[in-house]
A and B are shown apart, each in its own frame.
Chain A
Amino acid sequence: MRQEPEALLFELSKPGRRGVEFPCCDVPESNPFDSIDPKLLRHSTTLPELAEPAVIRHFTRLSQRNYSIDSGFYPLGSCTMKYNPRLHEDAARLSGFARLHPYAPTQLAQGALQVIYEMQYILSEIAGMDACTLQPAAGAHGELLGLMLIKAFHQNRGNGHTKTTILVPEAAHGTNPASAARCGYKTVSVQSDARGRVDVAHLRTVLDESCAGLMLTNPNTLGLFEYSINEISELVHETGGLMYCDGANMNALVGRARPGDMGFDVMHFNLHKTFSSPHGGGGPGSGPVAVKKALEPFLPVPMVIKLADDSFAFDSNRPFSIGKIHSYYGSFMAFLRAYLFILYYGKENLAQIAENAVLNANYVRVALQPYIDSAYDEICMHECVMSAKRQKRHNGIRAIDIAKRLMDYGYHPPTVYFPLIAPEALMIEPTETESKETLDEFISAMRSIMLEAAEQPELLRNAPTVTPVRRLDEKNASKDVRWICGPNCETV
């Protein structure tokens, strides 16, 4: 990666430079001061001024200071960092998609509506559900919507005032309790048992009539399948609560098993994980929500329907709908890519995704076990959680030190310290798009690092050393969140 620091745009700016030449005004001009109160007019902006070569060079250099899937193995657990096919990018550049206005007349948006219509159906089928909305713009947005649907369901049955809590396992993603709180629910934590699953005995003690629903990731955040899922679903359903599936880990199941068959009533997908729309440095995401029949009336407007003449149309006439949660129809450009990804695999091959993801994760787990403990010694699903407790006990080497040392070996580290119930966790998710050779090289790097941990622990404590920057002083960053222009030109 590029070592030299890159100046800020504002530091590169020089008055009089420009990156675009706009044409002269070809219409008779009017003076803004004639119609607009001068107080509401701006004198000038303080944006930087650069010529086009400087813009390209600046951002190219920044890109060279960044790790990505395209540059190497990215086993960031829970994030499903799989290869992003370039065919999708070709499609996304076409004017018929990229430059399509959301209010284009429906007769001239039939191709886009077909994508939405088919994805509503395809995702419902993959989920084992009855209906699906594509509106949520990210996984956490999908969670929020899913909880709104649960709330609408209970309110519609007259139970809104008694169904006040959402149960969340302690190993759940942080978004789960945060989404529940944002939806006005009280959260109750459910403990895990010795095998890393929901402790059903504890669940029984916290489950009562106030339960609006339970949010569960399956396989869970330890990469383990919740084999008691039927019993859990039954217990929650007995109290009148609903089952929410956090679909972050669908890469383990796609084409092999369906949340809808496990008793879940509502789930969200992360299209940027399972179906390979690019992560883009942290977004955009896309979090479609699939539901069982009982929740369908509450889905947001509009839905896309097929008319008798086989054309597609928006349907906003849904009296029980909770309303809208996105200005338009969701992350269309993301579900276009996911749609192409699914069509490429098709019904014949879709299961190969989960099969190879699970195979790769277990191959890494078994190969690493002589050097670092597995948090749970059993077959994992699409990711494995290792625990550096042995190294920590021996000479104080922690998961973070291993993660940082992996950077010196040219890797993006796994997710660390999550879930919290596994001490010194390193969560490794290889995905199906990595080859055996790549995994073997990673395993070999991990083996070297574990030897270093025992014999030369300073190499880990001082890591990384070959990256563009080394470990950071994170505390001092809290106030310095923008560059201030002006005579002093400094950060504040």
Chain B
Amino acid sequence: MAYIPNTPADQAEMLEAIGLNSIDDLFAPIPQHLQLKSELNIPSSLDQISLTRHYIELAKKNAGAEDYTCFLGAGVYDHYVPPTVGAILSRGEFLTSYTPYQPEVSQGVLQSIYEFQTLIAELFAMDLANASMYDCASGLAEAAAMASYITERREILAADTINPAHLDVLRTYLNHGPYELHLLPSQDGRIQSETLKDALSSTTAAVLIQHPNFYGGIEDMFSLSDLAHANGSLFVASVDPLSLGLLSPPGDYDADIAVGEGQALGCPMGFGGPMLGLFTCKSQYIRRLPGRIVGATTDIDGKKAYVMTLRTREQDIRRETATSNICTNVALYALAAAVHLATLGKTGVEQVASLSFQKAHYMASQIDSLPGYRLTFPEMPFFKEFLIDCSSSPEQINQRLLKDKILGGYVAEGNRMLIAVTEQRSRKQIDDFVKILSEF
């Protein structure tokens, strides 16, 4: 086998050195009746050429964004990934290393995480960021648990305009702890201050708002944050990191914890995984932070160095009293985000946000002027995504779009379609989409 160097001669020599006669002897500690006597019922071995043919065939059955123009969003976006990201991520030194438990030989990964934390904290205008979570949804759930611990309250108020996939995960997590989850109902696509005011109580630990929300809408974050704080609750924001090239960052509206889905920062859509959970908070809560965090220090010679820090929060030391059971960070994708943000830089991030905003608004106005279509929430300010009402079935429209190699929007209840427009979409691609809509 190409990945197993031991030859039969090697095996014989090694067995002799151990003092055993056969490979089977190595498995003697496993009781005989628990050892497999025959092959597993799985596929037969494929040589590397056949395997390559197989994966190419599988990939061809999928509508990748290289062949299809993508207007799908709903949490995962087809933003531009600069070539620097692929070049750095394919370096074996990053790809094939592990958690930097030994800092002396892991300065590369450690510094990249430290820089990732800094870049995310700057982008969010928050005091600090951790080394990342599995995805935005689990970050949101960890934020809820953290807020409950800090406030010693149990109720979590979550906007019903949060991505439904994230709400599903939040519900699953909170079902398994001492929490009560209540949804804040939106009106005209957004959370109204009055609604929040009425819903807050002395048991409310945290208010969770997504911004821009699932429908692309811009929430009144300053007022919502003020209301939460006046009630002694924490304010938790879930944001699209690339929106922060245009929109006020969570630190500006005094969010206590801010999370986000980092996929748009140079990570592949990859059929939805892995994702990159961004997690930031105020510095006063650092000891309740879930996940890894890297800090700067010096070595015994006074040389600058980086190391995982505040380790006593973590499961391998604290066991059942740890702040979370998480034992991973999506380090490779955190590196992707760091390379992505470094390459785009200040100007690039602002341009991506601005171009996405402009193109989405152009497309929305084109569709809104077509007969049979209208913006579902015409008064709602939005960023790069918007919801439309269709007089025909959105599924049928999407099927028609596929014929022109266009991936249409996310189909929502009530003949609605959620359309995402990134900086990658050209005017022609938008016009082609709109033209097909006009056929219905």
Interchain CA distance A148-B145 in the complex, whole Å: 16
Binary flags per residue of A145-163, CB closer than 8 Å to B gives 1, else 0: 0011001000000000000
Known contacts A5-B303, A102-B271: A464-B104 contact under CB 8 Å: yes
- Shortest distance in angstroms between A185's beta carbon and chain B's nearest beta carbon? 9
Is there contact, CB below 8 Å, between A55 and B296?
A: no
Interchain CA distance A95-B137 in the complex, whole Å: 25
- The answer to whether the Cβ of A305 comes within 8 Å of any Cβ in the partner chain is no
Find A62's partner among B2, B108, B163, B168 (CB 8 Å cutoff): B108
**How many chain-B residues does the 8 Å CB contact rule pick out?**
209
Residues on B with beta carbons closer than 8 Å to the beta carbon of A79: 98-99
A-B contact pairs, 15 of them (CB 8 A): A20-B344, A26-B426, A42-B248, A49-B345, A69-B92, A82-B3, A89-B90, A137-B134, A173-B327, A227-B30, A331-B273, A347-B43, A349-B1, A359-B6, A480-B295
Is there contact, CB below 8 Å, between B272 and A343?
A: no
Residues on A with beta carbons closer than 8 Å to the beta carbon of B75: 327
- The answer to whether the Cβ of A93 comes within 8 Å of any Cβ in the partner chain is yes
- The answer to whether the Cβ of A48 comes within 8 Å of any Cβ in the partner chain is yes
User: What number of residue pairs across chains A and B have CB atoms under 8 A from each other?
Assistant: 694
Is there contact, CB below 8 Å, between B42 and A347?
A: yes
Is there contact, CB below 8 Å, between A46 and B310?
A: no
* Besides the known contacts A348-B44, A469-B107, 9 further A-B residue pairs in the complex with CB atoms under 8 A apart: A5-B304, A8-B114, A27-B427, A44-B346, A66-B105, A79-B98, A280-B330, A282-B99, A363-B17
Is there contact, CB below 8 Å, between A60 and B91?
A: yes
Find A283's partner among B6, B322, B330, B426 (CB 8 Å cutoff): B330
Segment with Cβ contacts to B, from A204-212, A234-242, A250-258: A250-258
Residues on A with beta carbons closer than 8 Å to the beta carbon of B90: 89
- The answer to whether the Cβ of B436 comes within 8 Å of any Cβ in the partner chain is no
Residues on B with beta carbons closer than 8 Å to the beta carbon of A36: 218, 247, 381
**Chain B residue with the shortest CB-CB distance to A42:** B248
- The answer to whether the Cβ of B136 comes within 8 Å of any Cβ in the partner chain is yes
Chain A residues touching B, range: 35 or more
- The answer to whether the Cβ of B307 comes within 8 Å of any Cβ in the partner chain is yes
- The answer to whether the Cβ of B100 comes within 8 Å of any Cβ in the partner chain is yes
Segment with Cβ contacts to B, from A289-297, A385-393, A447-455, A471-479: A471-479
**Chain A residue with the shortest CB-CB distance to B111:** A62
Residues on A with beta carbons closer than 8 Å to the beta carbon of B48: 87, 344
- The answer to whether the Cβ of A381 comes within 8 Å of any Cβ in the partner chain is yes
Interchain CA distance A175-B320 in the complex, whole Å: 8
Tell me which residues from 325 to 346 in chain A have a Cβ below 8 Å from any Cβ of chain B: 325-334, 336, 340, 342-346
**Chain B residue with the shortest CB-CB distance to A400:** B102
Q: Nearest 5 CB-CB pairs, A to B?
A: A328-B272, A346-B45, A102-B272, A66-B108, A96-B59
- The answer to whether the Cβ of B229 comes within 8 Å of any Cβ in the partner chain is no
Is there contact, CB below 8 Å, between A97 and B270?
A: yes
Residues on B with beta carbons closer than 8 Å to the beta carbon of A213: none
**Chain B residue with the shortest CB-CB distance to A123:** B42
**Chain A residue with the shortest CB-CB distance to B145:** A182
- The answer to whether the Cβ of A313 comes within 8 Å of any Cβ in the partner chain is no
Tell me which residues from 61 to 108 in chain B have a Cβ below 8 Å from any Cβ of chain A: 61-68, 70, 72, 74-76, 78, 80, 82, 84, 86-88, 90-108
Is there contact, CB below 8 Å, between A485 and B320?
A: no
- The answer to whether the Cβ of B359 comes within 8 Å of any Cβ in the partner chain is yes
Is there contact, CB below 8 Å, between A283 and B332?
A: yes
Known contacts A45-B122, A98-B269: A327-B51 contact under CB 8 Å: no
Is there contact, CB below 8 Å, between B36 and A39?
A: no
Residues on B with beta carbons closer than 8 Å to the beta carbon of A111: 57-62
Is there contact, CB below 8 Å, between A257 and B35?
A: yes
Residues on B with beta carbons closer than 8 Å to the beta carbon of A22: 80, 348, 351-352, 355, 423
- The answer to whether the Cβ of A143 comes within 8 Å of any Cβ in the partner chain is yes
Is there contact, CB below 8 Å, between B163 and A327?
A: yes
Is there contact, CB below 8 Å, between A281 and B102?
A: no
- The answer to whether the Cβ of B414 comes within 8 Å of any Cβ in the partner chain is no
- Shortest distance in angstroms between A282's beta carbon and chain B's nearest beta carbon? 4
- The answer to whether the Cβ of A1 comes within 8 Å of any Cβ in the partner chain is yes
Is there contact, CB below 8 Å, between A95 and B67?
A: yes
Residues on A with beta carbons closer than 8 Å to the beta carbon of B66: 95, 99
Is there contact, CB below 8 Å, between A332 and B272?
A: yes
Find A48's partner among B1, B297, B345, B355 (CB 8 Å cutoff): B345
Interchain CA distance A279-B105 in the complex, whole Å: 16
Is there contact, CB below 8 Å, between B327 and A434?
A: no
Is there contact, CB below 8 Å, between B54 and A343?
A: yes
- Shortest distance in angstroms between B246's beta carbon and chain A's nearest beta carbon? 6
- Shortest distance in angstroms between B300's beta carbon and chain A's nearest beta carbon? 5
Is there contact, CB below 8 Å, between A473 and B299?
A: yes
**Chain A residue with the shortest CB-CB distance to B221:** A40
- Shortest distance in angstroms between B9's beta carbon and chain A's nearest beta carbon? 9
Segment with Cβ contacts to A, from B175-183, B184-192, B200-208: B175-183
Known contacts A48-B345, A83-B3, A481-B309: A174-B45 contact under CB 8 Å: no
- The answer to whether the Cβ of A177 comes within 8 Å of any Cβ in the partner chain is yes
Is there contact, CB below 8 Å, between A283 and B62?
A: no
Interchain CA distance A343-B57 in the complex, whole Å: 15
Residues on A with beta carbons closer than 8 Å to the beta carbon of B168: 323-324
- Shortest distance in angstroms between A251's beta carbon and chain B's nearest beta carbon? 12
Interchain CA distance A268-B218 in the complex, whole Å: 40
Is there contact, CB below 8 Å, between A379 and B294?
A: no
Find B98's partner among A143, A279, A347 (CB 8 Å cutoff): A279
- Shortest distance in angstroms between B115's beta carbon and chain A's nearest beta carbon? 6
- The answer to whether the Cβ of A445 comes within 8 Å of any Cβ in the partner chain is no
Interchain CA distance A413-B106 in the complex, whole Å: 12
Known contacts A90-B52, A225-B29: A327-B94 contact under CB 8 Å: no
Is there contact, CB below 8 Å, between B315 and A68?
A: no
Residues on A with beta carbons closer than 8 Å to the beta carbon of B135: 137, 326-327
Binary flags per residue of A22-60, CB closer than 8 Å to B gives 1, else 0: 110111111010011101111011111110100110111
- The answer to whether the Cβ of B350 comes within 8 Å of any Cβ in the partner chain is yes
Residues on A with beta carbons closer than 8 Å to the beta carbon of B322: 174, 178, 181
- The answer to whether the Cβ of B166 comes within 8 Å of any Cβ in the partner chain is yes
Residues on A with beta carbons closer than 8 Å to the beta carbon of B249: 42
Is there contact, CB below 8 Å, between A140 and B342?
A: no
**Chain B residue with the shortest CB-CB distance to A468:** B107
